[in-house]
A = this chain, B = another copy of it.
Amino acid sequence: MVTVEERIKELKKRGFKMTPQRRAIIEALHNDHTHPTAEDLYNKVKRMMPDISLATVYNTLELLEKIGGVLKLEVIGGKAHYDPFTEPHIHLVCTMCGKIVDVEKPVPRIELSEEEKQGFRLQGYNIVFYGICPDCQRKLN
């Protein structure tokens, strides 16, 4: 797991300025394993930094995404979730409440032949499982 300091070092190395807002957002993201949305992070950071803007959270997440510092998960119901753990891994998504958890399992290696690639220059792939989480199963009864 990459640390907060490593992410910050990477940003500086690329010539971006370090600000208290960025540090707070990166820390909040790294201390949160629930795959928070931008708004979740905004609410967390606002407790320590009441004047921060939601736009700054979006800007910082976009910046992190560009340098490979966060995975943006656009899986269900219009709200993007962010994952600080950027190594390839499988996600498990609840189709009722949208909750996302990581699956601790080696990602199966899937290769596409040249024909299957259809001329695309491949960048990677995602595997997402769908299901109903324990909480929502309980609500069904």
Contact = CB atoms under 8 A, between A and B. Distances in A.
Interface of A: 74-78, 90, 92, 94-95, 101, 103-105, 108, 110, 112-113, 116-134, 137
A120 B131 contact: yes
A95 to B, nearest CB: 6
Contact of A123 (B90, B124, B126, B130): B130
Given A75-B74, A103-B116, A121 B125 contact: no
Number of copies of this protein chain within its complex: 2
Sort A-B residue pairs by CB-CB distance and give the 7 closest, nearest first: A119-B134, A120-B131, A122-B131, A125-B129, A121-B132, A123-B130, A123-B131
B124 A130 contact: yes
A117 B104 contact: no
B129 A124 contact: yes
A131 B103 contact: no
